[in-house]
């Protein structure tokens, strides 16, 4: 019975979070919009009630401050009881590697990422990184993926709309500054 109450409360917390994000203009999906983009598919936008405990925010606003192709935000409540919920903002650098023919080309792109693109991205995201205690991790695969993430107790789930609004405010400031 006690476990049912915890499961129900996580379902309610996740449901409230999904509704709040949609009310604030964010689009949600159960599939990774980046992989949809790579495969030429249209991302299936879902209503909050049609999503499970893990979902993507399709449209986080990030200006083209670096050479990334796509950005996603992922929220996962699956292991919230034991580990807290996960928030992850991922920046995908895919096209930069498409034309690479050999290891030297790939390493040249990695060097550009490490010396130019990631420092710009990190500087742009420094406010949310510090405010929300997030951590960077980079993965090198068929795409370079810069992940800014954190795992949090359920009590601070209300910070996610604030984090997304901070990103939106930064975007609007940056867009106004660039004009």
CA-angle at 35, arms to 151 and 106, nearest 5°: 90
Q: How far apart are CA 103 and CA 151, in angstroms?
A: 35
List pLDDT tens digits, range 21-31: 999 889 999 99
Burial (CB count within 10 angstroms: exposed 0-12, middle 13-18, buried 19+), residue 3: exposed
Q: How far apart are CA 6 and CA 14, in angstroms?
A: 12
Is the distance from CB of 138 to CB of 173 less than 8 angstroms?
no
Bridge partners, 147 (sequence order) = 90, 137
Q: Which is more confident, 114 or 166? A: 114
Inform me whether the pLDDT recorded for 7 exceeds 60. no
> Burial letters for 152-177: b for 16+ Cβ neighbours within 10 Å, e otherwise?
bebeebebbeebbebbbebbeeeeee
Residue 73: Cβ within 10 Å count: 25
67: containing domain: 2-178
Domain count, the chain: 1
Distance of CA 123 to the CA centre of its chain: 16
At 1 the pLDDT is 34
Q: What token pair was written down for 120?
A: 């710009």
List pLDDT tens digits, range 91-139: 999 999 988 899 999 999 999 999 999 999 999 899 889 988 999 999 9
List pLDDT tens digits, range 42-97: 999 999 999 999 999 997 878 777 788 999 999 999 887 777 899 999 999 999 99
At 161 the pLDDT is 87
């Amino acid at each position: 019975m006690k476990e049912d109450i915890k499961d129900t409360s996580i379902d309610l917390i996740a449901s409230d979070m999904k509704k709040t994000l949609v009310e604030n203009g964010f689009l949600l999906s159960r599939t990774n919009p980046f992989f949809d983009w790579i495969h030429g598919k249209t991302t299936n936008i879902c209503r909050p009630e049609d999503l499970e405990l893990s979902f993507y925010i399709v449209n986080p606003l990030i200006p083209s401050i670096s050479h990334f192709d796509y950005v996603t935000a992922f929220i996962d409540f699956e292991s919230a009881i034991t580990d807290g919920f996960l928030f992850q903002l991922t920046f995908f650098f895919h096209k930069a590697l498409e034309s690479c023919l050999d290891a030297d080309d790939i390493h040249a792109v990695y060097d550009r990422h490490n010396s130019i693109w990631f420092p710009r991205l990190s500087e742009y995201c420094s406010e949310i990184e510090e405010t929300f205690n997030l951590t960077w991790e980079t993965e090198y695969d068929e795409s370079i993926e810069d992940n800014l993430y954190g795992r949090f107790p359920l009590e601070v789930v209300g910070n996610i709309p604030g984090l997304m609004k901070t990103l939106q405010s930064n975007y609007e400031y940056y867009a106004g500054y660039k004009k």
